[in-house]
Amino acid sequence: MSSDLFLYERYIEGLSAGTSFQKGSPPRGGSPFSDDMIVIDRDGNFTCQRSGLQGSPEEFLRKLYPYLTDEGLKRAVQVEISDEFDLNKARVESELKHFRSECSKTDDFEIECGIDPENVLQEPLWLDDSIRQLNYVQMSPLGYPVCRITWRPNERKEEITGALRVEISGDPKRIWFVEDCLQAVLFQQLIQEPVFLRPNEQALKWNDYERLVSGRDVVCIQGDDVGDFTYTSYPFINLIASHTKSLISLRTMPLTAGRSFVRWLNPETCKQLLREVEKSRVKTLRTYDRAMYHSYIESESNQPLHFPQDCQMHMYWYGTKEGLLVHSNPINILESKEAQKKKCLKVVADRNSAIQQEGLRLTKAEFLNIRSSQNQLKPRRTYEQLKALIDRHIYFSDHSLSGLVALYVIGGYLYKLFPAYGYLRLNGEAGTGKTTLLNIIAECGFNGTLQSQITKAGLAETVHNLSCTICLDEVEKRSIAAADEYVQLLKAGYKSDGSYSKMSGKNMIQLNVYSPKAIASIDPLGDEALDSRTLTIKTVLKPPKVELQEWDIDIGHRSNEVITVRRGCYAFGLFHHQVVEKLYRKLPKSIRLPSGMVLENRRRQIVAPLLAIAQLIDTNEKPVAESCLLNALDAIWNPDHDQKQARYKLLHDSLSQWSKDEAFTAYREKDGLLYIVNDCWEGTPVAMKLGGKKNTLKWFDSLPGVKKGPVYLGSELETKSCTGFPLDLKVHKRTVREIFSRKLGS
C-alpha cells in the first residue's frame, strides 16, 4: 500500500508518502478534482467523500489526464509508485536551482542551444553541461515531477522517464507539434495556440493522439529525419493523418536557412512561420512505413564521411585536432563515433596519422570561438579582410586579381560542395611575389600547406588526410609532361572523384586527391589538359614607387589577422554552404564577362564555384565581389580588354573636357557623326598613353563606324583633316552623343 502513496502524494494536497494507517483513520487530503476530500484505502484505491467518485490509481490518473491511454496509465502508475530517482522532487528542485544560479556565470547553455538562458529560467528545463544533456520535467498540479524528458541539444532521440502526457484547455482550432521540449517552450511563448512535443513511436502509445487531433488543423515542425524510424516523424504522421482536419508538415532547415529552430525563432520569424503555414495548406505529405524508410531513406543517408572536410546529409562537416566533428544545421560538435550512431555516417580517413596530427588546424576551442563570434564573421567582412591582407603584400597588374585569390581561398573551406574545383597558377619571373602569395594562401587556406618537391605519393596522402588547400612551389623543377604520373595525379585531383591508388602492405588502397591547389612556376606547365584546369595569374615585378609590406606571420598582428580570416572562412562553410550550393545550381550555362567574352564548358566549370561564393558575399550588399571576379577573369583570359577599356576611358575624358570647354570649337556634327580636328589629339592623355598622335589616329581606325577625311568647320577654321565618331558609339558606358551633349544641345 505504501508504494501507492508515492503516486497519490504528487496530486493530493496534504497527503504524505510517510502517512501511516491508523485504525479508522486512512490517509486523506484535498481532492484535485473538486472542493472535496479524497481518501486512500489499504488496496490503494481512492474515494472522494462527497461526490462518491472512486477507483484504482489508473482511474485516478485517467480523471486527471483524459488523453492517457491504458498503456500510458499503466506506465505512469508503474513509475510513480516506485519513487523513481529521476522524478524525485528534491533532486529536480536541486538541479533546477543549480542551473538557474550558475547559468549567468557560464555560457554553456548559449553555446549548446544558441539562445540566452534567460528565455527558459521560468520553465522546468535545464542543461546538465557535464554530459551535454537537456532536461525537461512535466509537473503535477502540486508541482511534483511526473515525467522527465532528456535529450542532447539539436538531436531527436529523447529518453522519457514516466509517461509523456498531453493536456489541452478549451477547444483550439489548431495545434502544433515540434521536435523537442526546448522548441515547445520557446514557441509557446510566442503563440497563443497549444504546442506539444512530437511523440516518438513508443510515446505514441501513451496518449490518444487520434482523439486529440480529431477535427483540428495540425502543424508539425520538424528537422531532417535520420537514424532509426522510431524517432522520425513518420510513425506520428501515419497515425494521425486520417484524423485531422488538415495536416501540414514543415521542415525547419529550408525555413531557417540551416540555423537551429530555437536560434531562428523570434516574434518576426514567428510571423514568417505563420505565413509559411498558410501557403502550405494544399501540399501533400509524403510518408513512409518502417520497411520503406530503412530500405531507402536511411540506407541512402548511411554515407562515408571524409574526416577533414565533407558535405553530407545537407550538413557541412569539419574535423578537429582532437578527433571531434564540427557540423552545421545547426552548428554543433560531436565525437566521431556519434556520427555513425546518430547521423548514419561512417567516418573515413586515418585520424591518427602524423599528417593529420600536424596539419589539422581546427580545434574545439577555435570552434567555440567561431560559434560565439558568428554575428561578426560576416562573408563580406571576411572577403574584404583577406583581400586587403593580400593587397598589402602582393602587387598585381590588375587590382581585381587579389579578389579572385581571396575567393579561391574562401572556396577551399567548402569545395566539397562542388563536383570540380579548378587550380590557381602563379606564373612569372623570380622576385614577382609567387612564393609570398603561396605562403599567404597556405596560411589562410583550409589546412593549408606549402610544399616544394613533394612526391606524388606524398601529395596524395597529404590531400587525402587533410582535404587541404595545397600550395606547390617551383613546379618547373620536376618533369611536366603528359605521360608523367605526377601530372596525371594533378589532372585527376580537380574533380570530386579524383583518386590515387597505392599499395599498403599487400592491399591496394584508394586515396582521394580532390582539393584546391595553387601552383607556382616560372616556366609553362607544358601540359594542355592540366593548363585548362587552372586560372593562371601572371605575376610581375612591382614598380619602384609601390610600397609593399614584408610577409612574416610573426610580425605584428599578422597572425591574429590570419586567425580571424580562418574563422570567417570556417563560418562561411558552416553557416552559408546551403545558400552557396543553391546559387551554384542557378548559374547560367554560359557566363558572360564584361568584355563580352563567354565562358562555357571547362572554363565555366572552374569559375562557377567562385562565382556562387561571390554572389553570396554580395547578397544584400553592393555587388563588389562578383564584379571584381569577372574583371579578374577578363584580365586572365582577355588581357587586351583592360587595355582597350583604359583607352576608352581616356577618350571619354578628352571628349567630356572639350564638351565643357566654351572655347573649344574644333568640331562639327555631320551625318550622325561628331568630327574632331585631328591636330586636337596632340598631347592629350590618350595620345600620351598610345605614344603620340599618329598611333592615336591609327587606333581610331579600329573603332566601329569611325570615318576620316576633310571637313568644313566654318569660316574661321575652314576645312580641316578630321576623325568622325558615330554619335551612338559607346565610350566608357556612355555614347558620344551623351558625352558631348553640352555642345550638341541634346
Domain coordinates of the chain in residue numbers?
A: 2-64, 85-292, 302-372, 394-636, 640-744
pLDDT at 479: 47
Whole-angstrom distance, CA of residue 247 vs CA of residue 715: 88
What's the mean pLDDT in 700-709?
A: 92
Q: Is the pLDDT of residue 352 over 60?
A: no
Lowest mean pLDDT among 19-23, 70-74, 232-236, 611-615: 19-23
pLDDT at 295: 60
pLDDT at 229: 83
pLDDT band at 251 (very low <50, low <70, confident <90, very high): confident
| Three-state secondary structure of 86-145 | HHCHHHHHHHHHHHHHHCCCCCHHHHHHCCCHHHCCCCCEEEECCCCEEEEEEECCCCCE
Quick count: other Cβ atoms within 10 Å of Cβ 683?
Answer: 9
- CATH of region 394-636: 3.40.50.300
What's the mean pLDDT in 246-254?
A: 82
pLDDT at 399: 87
pLDDT at 481: 46
Ranked by mean pLDDT, which of 277-286, 288-297, 486-495 comes out on top? 486-495
pLDDT in tens, 101-147: 887 777 778 777 878 888 899 999 999 877 789 999 999 999 999 99
Contact 342, 386 (CB under 8 A): no
DSSP, collapsed to helix, strand or coil, labels residue 389 as: helix
Beta-strand ranges (E) seen in 216-294 are 217-222, 246-251
Whole-angstrom distance, CA of residue 285 vs CA of residue 247: 8
Contact 436, 394 (CB under 8 A): yes
Of 248 and 155, the structure prediction assigns the larger pLDDT to: 248
**What residue type is 129 in one-letter code?**
D
pLDDT band at 546 (very low <50, low <70, confident <90, very high): confident
pLDDT band at 505 (very low <50, low <70, confident <90, very high): low
Torsion sign (Cα): 575, 578, 579, 583: positive
Of 178 and 530, the structure prediction assigns the larger pLDDT to: 178
Quick count: other Cβ atoms within 10 Å of Cβ 224?
Answer: 17
The torsion defined by the Cα of 88, 91, 92 and 95, in degrees rounded to 10, comes to: -170
Phi, psi of 572 (to 5 degrees): -55, -50
pLDDT at 148: 96
pLDDT in tens, 172-208: 999 999 999 999 999 999 999 999 999 999 999 999 9
The mean pLDDT value of the chain amounts to 87
Q: Give the DSSP letter string of 492-551.
A: HTTBTT-EEEEEETTEEEEEE--S-EEEEESS----HHHHTTEEEEE--PPPTT---PPP
pLDDT in tens, 661-676: 999 999 999 999 999 9
Whether residue 308 is preceded by a cis peptide bond, meaning omega within 30 degrees of 0, is no
pLDDT at 356: 84
pLDDT at 6: 86
What's the mean pLDDT in 296-321?
A: 79
pLDDT at 529: 80
Lowest mean pLDDT among 319-328, 348-357, 495-504: 348-357
pLDDT in tens, 511-527: 899 999 999 988 877 77
What's the mean pLDDT in 62-86?
A: 93
Lowest mean pLDDT among 50-59, 418-427, 507-516, 648-657: 507-516
pLDDT in tens, 555-605: 766 788 899 999 999 999 999 999 999 999 899 989 998 888 899 989 999
Q: How far is CA 94 from CA 18, 86, 87, 100, 618, in A?
A: 21, 12, 12, 10, 50
Quick count: other Cβ atoms within 10 Å of Cβ 358?
Answer: 12
pLDDT at 258: 60
Q: Is the pLDDT of residue 470 over 90?
A: yes
Assigned C-alpha cell, 327: 557540423
pLDDT at 130: 75
Q: Is the pLDDT of residue 553 over 90?
A: no
Q: Is the pLDDT of residue 71 over 80?
A: yes
Report the candidate in 601, 594, 591 with the shortest Cα–Cα distance to residue 634: 594
What's the mean pLDDT in 305-312?
A: 90
